[in-house]
Structure 1
């Protein structure tokens, strides 16, 4: 494939990945917003919890409808809906006068996040050539980490008075001087509008068009992306496989697909039970104990945000050369060792030296280059085309439910078994993840989505993937 055609695919991927950027930004920006909102409105504990979790409620709604939307309407239309929801949420949160209205718009933004968390990796996996599919889907995770970092940076900038110079328009003065938290939320309108405009220029997924029998339209898109002529494009396999009468959730419970469903459930579950939330929770304290001078907790979040983003680049570099299995196995093993050592540091009160910081950064490296991005890469590859959108929605729903459970469980663990025990608890799940991945996860690098589906269906007993 020529560099020009590769450039076109990369541009399409970057536009779609803006959905991941907005996902990360919207979820992380709340860290700077919450203290200001709590102070201004004197929120009770329950009100504070509802303000934070309102977006999560929207996420669950968004994921619940995303599978049906993407399988019925295509991949592009739900993404456009996502962009519209992001724009509306940013504007509403910035301008709506009362807190109830702001929370309602947070729910709208959460619905957008839920849809994006499913449809973006789905779309990228279907538009990407097999030989670089893992790398392109990992751009989504990279964009997510970049969104988190930008949210931390913009929060820190606004809180440190970057916007303090005289702003004549009363609306701008209100957003960036009087109620800075509104500016933090409202600034998300800029990437959201860019996302919306970019989506108007990218094509529909050709694989979805093939599933719907729109062969000529699919061939036209493939030709523009790859440079092939219409005669060179073979859609016979896709048509024969994807026009199967089976197109319901029942297909996932067929004997040939049960392992795929189990993998699709376990990977996002392990992602949340790896301990990433505990690490982020302890971030400011860990850095402080390690002797790093911090002016406030937002700076520590920026440091961890940079580390998370940089280490994700390694996954982009190696996911298509090393493959999914080796990267995941190395990552889970490294994460388990890092968490065990972190727990040992806490157990022996060795929290004032550089050793603890190294353990934490080692864990972040292992998570960001394997456990974090690969749940999206693998889940977007392993399900049959006719139900890929709905199946991936199940996988992403597990991620959000597990995220909620871990969020509630972590403070309990810290109180009941202490810091060391908490990190060892998460290390145990990383060990379980290593064993499960070793036993179950197939190698899918370099294979077309149609070939992966065929491998599941033609041989349920032999490990055809492990050749």
Structure 2
């Protein structure tokens, strides 16, 4: 047989089991051996960047609110929503376009390209002279975030042995929250080094909290430490460069090679990351061949074909709604706006930035617990646990703000000195519990990486993750407005009600994917959803 089929999907017949055995015997590894764990560590630097670039804005925004004379950008509430929103819009575009590019050119190729986009976006944001230029580069940075969120889980799932696929893909989620914790930590260090957001009035450095509601004092600002946000943003270039260097040493996805008919390359790539004597490379390749043989009876798959075909349309819709509900947990309101939430609960801006680290730690611990949960329990059961805990946490926050904090708010929105000291700390505890449950129960990225058939995996993943980011934009833009117009209590009550619907969705609709290979899942879904 030939080493590979002609073109992306040529006309040569699929190899027989005997030909696969011979190909596996005669094909050497395509490069140096790489441990699957190392491959996951390198690839998920893209996820760490995803986490850093989404989390860093929480600490940067209080400095961006400072007047331009103080080095800030004089943000308004609407502009604050757009700073986060443009990243989400860019991420939606990056997920959709990046998914298509990864199907066409390869997962590894896509991650290498995204590493360069991460660098360009981070530098552009850092050097932005105005909020309008910042919007442009937040969109560019979002493109890289979205592309990584669509490509990295697929790259991991396609390279992982079936026995550790769930925990390995969970590394992706762990690195996202690690990136967020890193961002919060650097934000806290830089904020403390600068004494928190401060402005210079009449030659004296004053906390921004003390003058923000005083128009004459704001007009008298002549300087300040508003440039601190730029130092927070530029640090993202370091892991981006490390990602580019590391991915150059990793193999392409063997399943991407096989989906495009290049079986010799698939064998060579797979041999680089499989353990001799433990993993049956020939069996894995034969499963890939079986799926390709079944799909060869159909016309070339496109997004249109995916939507027109009954069973793939159903799978795509499930993936889209899994993404929608992941964002409607409200998790990114904590990621982007926690200092704002804590200020609403009565903490100063400087202390709010520092306390953000506590929720980042809770998020990381939760993600580590998630390794155990996804390895031990069914995906659906973990998702049901997540939605139950998130719903209860959101309703608890609504009650604390509605019954505890709101009665102690002044007319200008500040917190009166009569507020019981434990209430702001109760908000910190509840938010920490919320992010712990959300991160320990997150199966969104695992399910997204396992649901879709190989021919459209990158494209379908891109569409569903793109829809996820569009919902992220809606939530990110709407949250500051909801807090201002509805108040924190009703805002969290609305999110809690939405998550009741999400819980029903996990119970009634989401399929189980844990105990099957990707090829077995594809055949199961074809049979289940075709009628």
Answer yes or no: same fold by TM over 0.5. yes
1:83 aligns with 2:115: yes
Equivalences for 1:43-442 in 2 at 5 Å?
A: 43=74, 45=76, 50-94=82-126, 103-161=135-193, 179-228=227-276, 232-242=282-292, 243-244=295-296, 245-249=299-303, 250-279=305-334, 283-284=338-339, 295-349=350-404, 352-353=422-423, 356-370=427-441, 373-415=442-484, 417-442=486-511
Indicate the residue corresponding to 2:221 in structure 1.
Answer: none
SS class of match (1:296): helix
Relative to structure 1, the CA distance from residue 300 to residue 357 in structure 2 (aligned partners, 3 Å threshold; closer, same or farther) is closer
Cα distance in 2 for residues equivalent to 1:290 and 1:37: 21
Paired position in structure 1 for 2:40: 13
Q: Greater RCO between the two (CA within 8 Å, min separation 6)? A: 2
Equivalent-residue separation in structure 2 for 1:443 and 1:274 (angstroms): 21
| C-alpha distance in structure 2 between counterparts of 1:286 and 1:404, whole Å | 18
1:141-190 C-alpha deviation (Å, 9 max, x unpaired): 11111111111211222233389xxxxxxxxxxxxx99433322222221
Contact preservation (8 Å) 1:133, 1:320: no
SS for the counterpart of 2:250 is: coil
5+ residue gaps, structure 1, are 164-176, 463-467
**Matches of 2:443 and 2:503 in 1, distance apart?**
13
Task: List per-residue Cα deviations over 1:410-459 (Å, max 9, x = no partner).
Answer: 34444555433322221222211111111111221131100000101123
The farther-off stretch of 249-258 and 21-30 is 249-258
TM-score if structure 2 supplies the norm length?
0.75
* In 2: Cα distance, 1:427 partner to 1:215 partner: 49
Task: Give yes or no for contact 1:338–1:359 (8 Å, CA) kept in 2.
Answer: yes
Please say which of residues 446-455 and 418-427 is displaced more in the overlay.
Answer: 418-427
Whole-angstrom distance in 2 between the partners of 1:160 and 1:358: 22
CA RMSD of aligned residues (A): 3.1
Distance 1:411 1:359 in 2: 20
Partner of 1:29: 56
Distance 1:210 1:340, change over 3 A: same
Alpha-carbon distance between aligned partners in 2 of 1:96 and 1:47, rounded to the nearest angstrom: 15
CA distance in 2, matches of 1:355, 1:67: 42
Q: The residue matched to 1:318 in structure 2 has which SS?
A: helix
Corresponding residue SS for 2:451: coil
- Give the paired residue count: 443
Please name the residue that 2:529 is paired with. 460
Q: Deviations over 1:19-75 (max 9, x none)?
A: 011111112222333444453265463666555444334323312311210110010
d(CA) in 1 for partners of 2:359 and 2:324? 22
Counterpart-to-counterpart distance in 2, 1:266 and 1:116? 20
Larger Rg: 2
Residues 240 and 299 from structure 1, CA distance in 2 versus in 1: closer, same or farther, beyond 3 angstroms?
same
Distance 1:426 1:181 in 2: 30
Instruction: Answer whether contact 1:320 1:446 (CA < 8 A) is retained.
Output: no
2: CA distance between counterparts of 1:263 and 1:195? 31
Change (3 A) 1:36 1:408: closer
Q: Aligned equivalents of 2:400 and 2:130: distance in 1?
A: 46
